[in-house]
Amino acid sequence: MALYYEYRIQLKDAVSAQSIIKAGGTCYVAQAGLPDKQALFDKTGASLANPLTPTRGFINFFTLNTSASVDLYVQAPDGQFQVFLGITPSGPNELVIRTDVKRQLAKIPFSIGDTAAATETATGFIVPDPSMFLDRLHGMGILVTALESGKTIDVGTAEAASAGGDADTFIAASSLTAAGLVIGTNGDAFSSNAPGTSTALIALNKNIVYTLSSGAAAAKGFILLPYVLC
């Protein structure tokens, strides 16, 4: 019989010192030290979707006991993005969100193990409103942890799921050939080197997606999207 670890975590506002109980937000659970998704389960042993949506700021899931810890990539209900590494079943049981910080950096994991080449894949994260997304001159790019020569990544809004979406809204065919930090290639949102506003981006589709180029079989890493909450 499978044995599980349980995680019970509440999001907390660093400014008010109160629990965040607003609906919404996203929590992507990654294998410790990797961008790959961690397999999640509920209390009955049934599989859970990953990323998951907190319930009134509460995050609850189970993992097999072969995983001693996980990494959490969290977008709070009001758009703040924070990364919490090495979280164990024993705690912490509260994660503090800096709700007073306007400048944000979404660090969104991607892995060929969680998608297929030439397939638009939803990250589970969205464009906060109101906000402005910043281009390659302000830190937009890719952190490549598993390179793949000759392959690229697009990052955008949900083209397949919505008329008007654009698969390379943010990043257009950035190279995955070299490991490490790669400055992003501006997508359609930055054609004039101006910020991409949430008004325009939500008109496309608020859901952030990525697409690895045809034939990709090894690429992994993190998408880096800087933005300002307004």
H/E/C letters for each residue in 73-134? EEECCCCCEEEEEEEECCECCEEEECCCCCEEEEEEEEEHHHCCCCCCEEEEEECCCCEEEC
Q: What is the pLDDT of residue 165?
A: 84
> In terms of domains, do 43 and 61 share one?
yes
3-class DSSP state of 58: strand
Task: For residue 161, count other CB atoms closer than 10 A to its CB.
Answer: 12
DSSP tag of 195: P
Alpha-carbon gap, residue 166 to 141, rounded angstroms: 18
* 212/197 same-domain check: yes
Q: Examine the domain organization and report whether 13 and 82 are in the same domain.
A: yes
Asked if residue 47 has pLDDT above 90, the reply is yes
User: Which residue, 97, 116, 139, sits at the end of a domain?
Assistant: 97
Do 119 and 222 fall within a single domain?
yes
Which pLDDT value is given to residue 217? Answer: 98
User: Count of domains in the chain?
Assistant: 2
**How does pLDDT run across 113-148, given as a tens digit for each residue?**
999 999 999 999 999 999 999 999 999 999 999 999
Mean pLDDT across 188-214: 93
- Given this model, what pLDDT does residue 28 score? 98
Q: Pick the last residue of a domain from 46, 68, 97.
A: 97
Residues 191, 122 share a domain: yes
143 and 87 share one domain? no
Domain closes at, from 73, 97, 121 = 97
> What is the Cβ-side half-sphere exposure of residue 224, based on CA atoms within 13 angstroms?
19
Mark whether 138 and 214 lie in a shared domain.
yes
pTM over 0.85: yes
pLDDT exceeds cutoff 90 at 191:
no
CATH number reported for the structural domain that contains residue 34 in this entry? 2.60.40
Question: What is the rounded CA–CA span in Å between residue 23 and residue 139?
Answer: 30
Please tell me the predicted confidence (pLDDT) of residue 1.
63
Band of the pLDDT at 162, cuts 50, 70, 90? low
Q: What gap in Å lies between CA 41 and CA 180, rounded to an integer?
A: 32
Q: What percent of the chain has pLDDT over 90?
A: 92
Cα separations (Å) of 2 from 44, 89, 109, 159, 181? 11, 16, 27, 39, 39
Residues 121 and 220 in one domain: yes
User: What is the span of the domain harbouring residue 16?
Assistant: 4-97
pLDDT of residue 160: 72
Are 210 and 107 in a shared domain?
Answer: yes
Quote the pLDDT of residue 163.
63
Neighbours of 191 (CB within 10 A): 10
Q: Is 25 in the same domain as 112?
A: no
Residue 197 buriedness (CB in 10 A; 0-12 / 13-18 / 19+): middle
- Read off the pLDDT of each residue in 156-178 and give the average, rounded to a whole number: 88
What confidence category does residue 10 fall into, taking pLDDT thresholds of 50, 70 and 90?
very high
Give the separation between CA 152 and CA 100, rounded to whole angstroms. 35
Residues contacting residue 166 through CB under 8 Å, at least 6 positions apart: 156, 157, 159, 187, 188, 204
Q: List pLDDT tens digits, range 48-89.
A: 999 999 999 999 999 999 999 999 999 999 999 999 999 999
What's residue 192's pLDDT? 82
pLDDT of residue 188: 92
Two tokens at 225? 């999207």
Q: Are residue 17 and residue 52 in the same domain, yes or no?
A: yes
Same domain as 114, residue 43: no
